[in-house]
Amino acid sequence: MAAFPFEGLTFDDISLVTQYADFLPHDADVSSKFSRNVKLNIPFVSAAMDTVTESDMAIAMARLGGIGVIHKNLSIERQADEVRKVKYYLNGIIRTPVTFHPEQTVAEMMNEKRVKKYSFSGFPIVDDNGKLVGIITSRDFKFLSDYNIRIRDVMTKEPVVAKDSISMLQAYKMMVEHKVGKLPMVNSEGKLTGLYSFLDVKTLIEKEEPDYNRDDRHQLRAAAGIGPYDEARAEALINAGVDVLVLDTAHGHSKGVIDTVKLLKKTYGDRVDVIAGNIATAEAAKALADAGVDGIKVGIGPGSICTTRVVAGVGVPQVTAVYEVAKSVPRDLPVIADGGIKQSGDVAKALAVGASCVMMGSALAGTSESTGEVVLHQGRSYVIYRGMGSLAAMKTGKGSRERYGQDDVEDDAELVPQGIEGMVPFRGAVRNVIIQFVGGLRYSFGYCGARTLSEFQDRAKMVRVTAAGLREAHPHDVTMVKDAPNYSGK
């Protein structure tokens, strides 16, 4: 028994203790970090699971202030495309602008604008080869009496243009300087590659949506999962603009993970942050920290659809795992608590013992933005949700098999799953779910007298909870007649 110096605790085993507060919960600052160089306005991350996070979820999470990790059970090209969708969402760039030919008439252009209900009036003009030859805006035709004139006779023939590599901030300054509402971008051959719209760019630059989690170029933040030694995938994702690579495996304390972290940091340096996991011990955390990782993901078997602890008999209850990892690494190295979150109070407990943020799968799988299939069961809508170690996920893509060290298995009958496939109730927009989780977290900060995450972790006190105490914590001795938006039952 000398080899077992501590017992394992999870969220239901502890409860935080109230302390004096001189502020209201809505004054609490719940911002945090996902990785060394990527901040979060709210400490919530959507999991890299093929029934949870692709571009729709990642966009929604970033707009709310968090971040989404796009799963790797996709081809390299498809995963990179999903990243681009996130990065271009708020870029102010119209990648495929509506164009017209110089030989068309203004009447033809106006008719198409009316039929297709375009809300804008500026159009690049391109020749048969896609080369930009001019631009036409409302000021070019609003005083015309005859709309049958050809566009080439009224367009601006030498418009202000930019190279296709220009940043949004540079584009904004250029449009202000030249007083133009549209800024076409061209490549080295003069072909149109995109269009900046001043109103869109101005909205982003002036930060009219302060909660959005954006990079220095005002693009939404995005993360994506990769496997060990997957250099081709990593390069494609970095070229697509990914902010964080999440080295996602079932056993993060392994040679392949450590070697890959070192390789990525050596090859790409500050171009991208690298998070690695999953782990559950102080020894693993120190090994990853020594390798140069920018964040550590904790969780061996806490997820609702994970069977690792019963199939392999391995894992550490999540509160203990997070605590052991967090206390073994420098405080500026973010720790992500991945899995086991059922209630907003679980988030507070994970942060209290050292996590910088939480990664959630089942809590978000039932939302409109998830990738799971919606089904009808006994008159109620549910969403299919499965573990990345489930047989279905392993059969679907190599990324899942790779995560569990079974990428070389040819026969499906020889696959050894470590997860199951199930379904969760449909919950509507992810925004509604996150609002409740953030609200619960702010109340926890208020009850514990902490205005910031740093104060929360410094001040947090907790008690062990017995089975009777847990029963007392939940609604009891009544029959619930209406669901609450922030309570999912025991």
| Active site residue ranges | 306, 403
449 is in an annotated binding site: no
Amino acid at 378: Q
338 is in an annotated binding site: yes
249 is in an annotated binding site: yes
450 is in an annotated binding site: no
92 is in an annotated binding site: no
444 is in an annotated binding site: no
Structure token digits, residue 42: 């709210």
304 is in an annotated binding site: yes
Contacts for 108-115 with beta carbons within 8 Å, 24 or more apart?
109/136, 109/151, 110/141, 110/147
379 is in an annotated binding site: no
71 is in an annotated binding site: no
259 is in an annotated binding site: no
387 is in an annotated binding site: yes
190 is in an annotated binding site: no
Q: For residue 55, how far is the Cα from the chain centroid?
A: 8
139 is in an annotated binding site: no
308 is in an annotated binding site: no
CA-CA distances (angstroms) from residue 181 to 20, 168, 199, 393? 54, 14, 7, 47
Give the span between the Cα atoms of 116 and 319, in whole angstroms: 55
340 is in an annotated binding site: yes
386 is in an annotated binding site: yes
324 is in an annotated binding site: no
65 is in an annotated binding site: no
300 is in an annotated binding site: yes
389 is in an annotated binding site: yes
77 is in an annotated binding site: no
Q: Are 417 and 308 in contact (CB under 8 A)?
A: no
Of 344, 334, 216, 238, the residue nearest 277 (C-alpha): 334
Give the span between the Cα atoms of 396 and 50, in whole angstroms: 9
277 is in an annotated binding site: no
Please report how the helices 318-326 and 344-352 are oriented relative to each other, as an axis angle in degrees rounded to 10. Answer: 30
| Numbered residues of the known binding site for NAD(+) | 248-250, 299-301
Binding residue numbers for IMP: 304, 338-340, 361-362, 385-389, 418
Q: Residues annotated in the binding site, as ranges?
A: 248-250, 299-301, 303-304, 306, 338-340, 361-362, 385-389, 418, 472, 474
- Annotated binding-site ranges for K(+): 301, 303, 306, 472, 474
